[in-house]
Structure 1
């Protein structure tokens, strides 16, 4: 609709669309026909599937010669060693993920079909990528209700198996276990939130027939980062970004256009350097080398152990060279601090869930201490723009004018999976607290 509106109202003006699908973030849900298609598709387990996917990636030329399949992450059991009930639950959770992904692919297809209908497909730059690696938030077993994970509530497979047939449907809020997450990150190790390749290495597909010419369908292996997308689009459109806009100084463009890769060249990456930081996990890529560390929240950053990989020849980070090349490691660590200071990463902050909502950040417009008064009529409010109720005591006072027998909802927040509601029913005031059901 956005594209049709744009072309209809201003056919002389190009359009820009950022389509951020919910997939495949939890909850993993899909129409029943998609779920049925994948029944039994992953019963062989994540070890066999991961090996099959790696072999297929190699056949397609997605990895440089010599790339290894990283070992299982700590906490990921060998599939054949798992109890049968754990296997059944894990396989069904992966089925829901796959169904969700294919359903999303169909929606991308609808978007492409619309470009075809408009006669704009060949002259439109289409870029498809993920925002990070596969999620570790399902824990070692997977979860029927992801919010339990974020609240430190352990849900065992023996408990979840009773709801097996609900997985992927509208009444579930599932996420898959670590084993399937690492399979999704094949051939890498670790996950989303980490700064190892399993957290930050994702594919990028570029489609632009009029701009790519005869190189369509070819592979490129140069290193690039998401901050390179904007300068690539600017270059392709022949636009020089302004230093000021509306009298306000603009942040400088930090990325490097990857337009040079469109010409069919195999020259080295022009990127140069890229830092990473997420919840205290840190990493830096510099001319084919990478230093990276995992951080335990609440501990000193000085105690973190840095690893060193020559990812130009070891992209799956299987051979740690920190002990044998301390000079290179020290060079990269020093450069990380320089890049972190340059790009506003400092001071380091390893809080995660505490910063999940904007109200917990400095200068939040919705501090937890604020008192709110809601007067009808009022539009629905996002929870982050409303009163802070989670993990604390609160008072809720409602002034209601009603006739005998009249009912209705006074206040509600959350979802079917977890939330609260105040409502009047049968002349009684009801408080419903749905705590992770």
Structure 2
């Protein structure tokens, strides 16, 4: 890390809070973001400002409230009824009460008396001033989680111990059992079960086993001007073979610029032209770049530029063959040793005709990479996701996460 000390905080880095600082900033609460079992991972302050209605200037309200209470509060505040239908879709009832009752009475009795918490198997239940909780996983440890049944539960009287400093589980096992039973009842009511403690795999709908916006679609056509298509709004090319066929009209002189790309500096892929040559580059987490290119410039005029990836198969994140062709003639081929298995980016999407944010490749400039030719359309075709039973079992056991970290 010290080799990159001068890059820290620059556009070349993707900063995250250091673990120690995250803990320190949550003091005196336990744990941090993603650890929903403890207040350090869930408790936040909230400011309400409405001078014409809220008369208590600088007042503090300590009634238990949750993010699910915000929408009911807004509707009551503006005098609107609960919408039973929205655009023809029947709405589920709100899960929380309005907080308007606290505006005029700082000592009003709590109306939100029970609330579950769950994230990646870290879980808790709040009820009438008590919290039962269990920390199941730690986000920065790439290790296989223990069985859920082996988790150790804690018990806190947060009405008297707001920072959860005094664990009463051994002193009051009856109360703990009561709270554990309430968690299961509440989790069933709100569709939390079965608890899914996977992490990285859940970013990829196909691997996680849930539907996505593309459904069973195996082909998607995009056009110039379509930029910032987030990962869940674009066809999934991970862990499978696929092709990209771009119908383009190249100008006289050497064509330059990005035809289509996905994500950015910290992982993704890009199909682009430079000095008339067509390139494809795969960026593995910003750590390894695999670039193939035609050896001769492509002539001006209309062409179909095609990229093909032939997946090696096996576990998620395996590599494959990388092939470029123009008008049906192969112009370049290479080997991508490994691929990003579950997600390219949380904040950069697919761009047609440019690379609109951080560049996938260092071979072209940031924000100065518009395609100089004309794109008619680009069609992406994918093959079905074919994972063996063994690979699926590995995913369920999170063994792949360990292997990716080691790789």
Give the TM-score, by structure 1 length: 0.58
Matched, 1:266 2:98: no
Specify the alignment match of 1:201 in structure 2.
Answer: 43
After TM superposition, list the pairs within 5 Å mapping 1:26-175 onto structure 2.
159=1, 161-175=2-16
Give the TM-score, by structure 2 length: 0.62
Specify the alignment match of 1:229 in structure 2.
Answer: 70
1:8-37: per-residue Cα shift (whole Å, max 9, x none)?
A: xxxxxxxxxxxxxxxxxxxxxxxxxxxxxx
Residue in structure 2 matching 1:433, options 282, 287, 307: 282
- Normalized per residue, which structure has more strand? 2
1:124-181: per-residue Cα shift (whole Å, max 9, x none)?
A: xxxxxxxxxxxxxxxxxxxxxxxxxxxxxxxxxxx2x333343333332111211111
Question: Comparing both chains, which one has the higher relative contact order based on Cα–Cα distances under 8 Å and sequence gaps of 6 or more?
Answer: 2
Partners of 2:213 and 2:232 within 8 A in 1:
no
Residue in structure 2 matching 1:177, options 3, 8, 18: 18
1:293-318: per-residue Cα shift (whole Å, max 9, x none)?
A: 11246543222111111111111111
Specify the alignment match of 2:210 in structure 1.
Answer: 362
Specify the alignment match of 1:151 in structure 2.
Answer: none
Q: CA RMSD in A?
A: 2.4
Partners of 2:125 and 2:183 within 8 A in 1:
yes
After TM superposition, list the pairs within 5 Å mapping 1:209-224 onto structure 2.
209-213=51-55, 215-224=56-65
After TM superposition, list the pairs within 5 Å mapping 1:235-250 onto structure 2.
235-245=76-86, 248-250=89-91
Bigger-Rg structure (1/2): 2
Secondary structure, in 3 states, of the residue corresponding to 1:374? strand
Secondary structure, in 3 states, of the residue corresponding to 1:209? coil
Specify the alignment match of 1:254 in structure 2.
Answer: 95
Specify the alignment match of 2:272 in structure 1.
Answer: 423
Question: Within 1, Cα distance between the matches of 2:194 and 2:122?
Answer: 13
Question: Structure 2: which 5+ residue stretches go unaligned?
Answer: 138-143, 288-407
1:383-436: per-residue Cα shift (whole Å, max 9, x none)?
A: 322233445554444454435522332221111232221212123222233331
Secondary structure, in 3 states, of the residue corresponding to 2:47? strand
1:262-313: per-residue Cα shift (whole Å, max 9, x none)?
A: 1142244221111111111110000000000112465432221111111111
1:355-381: per-residue Cα shift (whole Å, max 9, x none)?
A: 1244545222336x7533435435122
- Normalized per residue, which structure has more helix? 1
Question: Structure 1: which 5+ residue stretches go unaligned?
Answer: 1-158
Alpha carbons of structure 1 residues 365 and 236: separation in structure 2 relative to 1, 3 Å: closer
Question: Within 2, Cα distance between the matches of 1:257 and 1:409?
Answer: 50
Specify the alignment match of 2:259 in structure 1.
Answer: 410
